Amino acid sequence: MNIQFNSGNNIPAREELTSPLKALITKSLNRFDRITRIEVHLSDEDGNKNGPNDKRCMLEARLKGIQPIAVTNYANTHKDAVRGAIEKLKTSLEHKLVENHQHC
């Protein structure tokens, strides 16, 4: 599974930020063997201001033979935003893969 990070202007995609997030994503989603790539989009919705739930994570999973699945989550930190997005993505993947299996 390839993991690609994209970030907004206010968030530098530095190794200190992306490395632990990449490990978390890999550990959480490695059981889904049809995933070929995960695109991680991080942003800070209110720029340099500090507000509640202003960190956004959008995860897009590319899968073999299935349309991509994307989810978005907001939280106070990027790590929490990613964690929430992972949980949403796992739920979406489970439903989509079961639905896809039933149509085969």
Question: What's the CA gap between 67 and 35, in Å, rounded?
Answer: 11
User: What range does the domain containing 76 cover?
Assistant: 2-102
For residue 104, the model assigns a pLDDT of 43
Residue 55 has pLDDT above 50, yes or no: yes
For residue 9, the model assigns a pLDDT of 65
- pLDDT tens digits along 63-102: 998 899 999 999 998 899 999 999 999 999 999 877 766 5
- pLDDT tens digits along 28-38: 999 999 999 99
Domain count, the chain: 1
Angle at 81 between CA 76 and CA 84, to 5 degrees: 125
Query: What CATH number does the domain containing 6 carry?
Result: 3.30.160.100
